[in-house]
Amino acid sequence: MTSADLLSAGKKRFNRHDLRRLSDAIEFAEIAHQGQFRKSGEPYVMHAYATAQTLLTLGMDIDTVVAGVLHDVPEDTAYTLGDVEKLFGLTVAKLVAGVTKLGKLKYRGLERYVENLRRMFVAMAEDVRVMIIKFADRLHNLSTLGSLPPDKQLRIARESLDIYAPLANRLGMGDIKGQLEDLAFPYVYPQEYAWVTSLLGTRYETLHSVIDVMTSELTSSLAKAKIKPLSIHGRRKHLYSLYEKLLRPEYDRDLSKIWDLVALRVVLKNVNDCYGALGIIHQLWRPVPHRFKDYIAQPKPNGYQSIHTTVFGPGGQPVEIQVRDEVMHQLAEFGVAAHWHYTESGKPVAAAKVEDKLAWVKELADWRQDVTSDEQFLEALKIDALQKRIFCLTPTGDVIDLPELATPIDFAYHVHSELGNHCVGAKINDALVSLDTALKSGDVVEIMTDKNRKVPNHDWLELAKTQTARGHIRKALREAGQEIGSDPTP
């Protein structure tokens, strides 16, 4: 990546004024980092360019891209944050300051990382773009880990798997999550990485040749039907995601049971074209029975939309095909970063859906002041931010986003504090359950209430897994004049 490459990429996205700002930032970064080199031997400024290039790929605004170019200037050069603000404005300076604050502590496991985690969530609550810059910065650092000593390789890779990848996932940035995991995988789990790559052998190459043939056939058939796709491309399953899938009991480490190693992704202008393309796909290739999901008509609980169908491709090879429109694609790939995207027609990506992906960050901003001890904060973050999510349904079909192992108590308080306070029991999928039952994705949860009950049980502080629920319980107990004592950790 050179300055010319970065400016060339910027020309495709920015107007003349913004391009001038990017050019000025590049010139300033080159002066600031002059004579500095990374362990790999390349000029330090190349890292700034790579970070900014990733931000451009994500479709970020000019302030974020400029901040990406300058993110290491105050910490690693003679120039100050004041110099950045004077030359590039307050917004850029704030973004650079936010990134700088996140880089102070060395990762030695979650228990010794609490201070940095606090900073991270404060920064995200103030401006999520700080975290997006940090993701871009981390991606390039991971790609050059080979130049570092083994202890630093492991520390940076472990931090990426434990912290950055889960956060990217919570922000809906699936592709960034996958890249972070794949780059860290060989350093954290070298033997497992070797096993997966040897298991794959030449499978990817074989499947890609099948995808190339199918892409050509589908492009021709869509053209005859006067349907113009925005893109048709193969999507290769991320290695770490494949590794995790192989470990699940239903797959039993058997690669032949996994049919989405490579998928054909078709992105179209609108929903009508999606269904038109689906008909053509099923005319070209016979569908595999029981392998069709219409997540457009019935979105996944996390809001994901796309049509998934598996067909028998050339040579009888099963191939998954994903069909979606442009907005669905932006939201699925880029999550909160899609807020700064515009569709081919110049319309912004649906802002409301992006805001949904940020709701949990705002929740963290609300409760971080209530959690005083490092132990409480860490346990709350492990569950509310870094743990995998499940999606449960109310009896009327509303989706409630919760961490794994959440209980009906968590569900009730996430719906409404009054529902939690009046709770006397719960049903999961029409069956009576105890209030400490762990919920699973897809569960329909009905909370039974008694209007005469106004105060929750003190024991619920131990049953609840989320800080949101425990916060509501503590508040209700305080208002009732009950002694709370120390807050148990889940």
- List residues bridging with 311 in a β-sheet: 287, 319
Dihedrals phi, psi of 149, to nearest 5 degrees: -65, 155
Pair of tokens at residue 105: 């502590």
Alpha carbon distance 123, 136 (integer Å): 16
**Longest Cα separation, the chain:** 73
Annotate 39-83 with DSSP letters as a single string.
Answer: TTSSBTHHHHHHHHHHHHHTT--HHHHHHHHHTTHHHHSS--HHH
Q: Tell me if 288 sits within 8 A of 310, measured CB to CB.
A: yes
Alpha carbon distance 377, 389 (integer Å): 19
Pair of tokens at residue 304: 């994901």
Side chain identity, residue 151: D
Rama region for 405: left / alpha / beta (φ>0; ψ in -120 to 50; rest): left
> Does the active-site annotation cover 42?
no
Side chain identity, residue 169: N
If we measure between CA atoms, which residue out of 121, 135, 445, 468 comes closest to residue 301? Answer: 445
Q: Tell me if 377 sits within 8 A of 368, measured CB to CB.
A: yes
Side chain identity, residue 470: R
Alpha carbon distance 261, 36 (integer Å): 41
Of 76, 175, 370, 436, catalytic:
76
Cα end-to-end span (Å), the chain: 46
Alpha carbon distance 66, 249 (integer Å): 46
Side chain identity, residue 59: G
Residue holding tokens 């319309």? 347
Q: Is the dihedral of CA 86, 89, 94, 99 positive or negative?
A: negative
> Does the active-site annotation cover 462?
no
Of 5, 75, 205, 355, catalytic:
75
Catalytic residues: 75-76
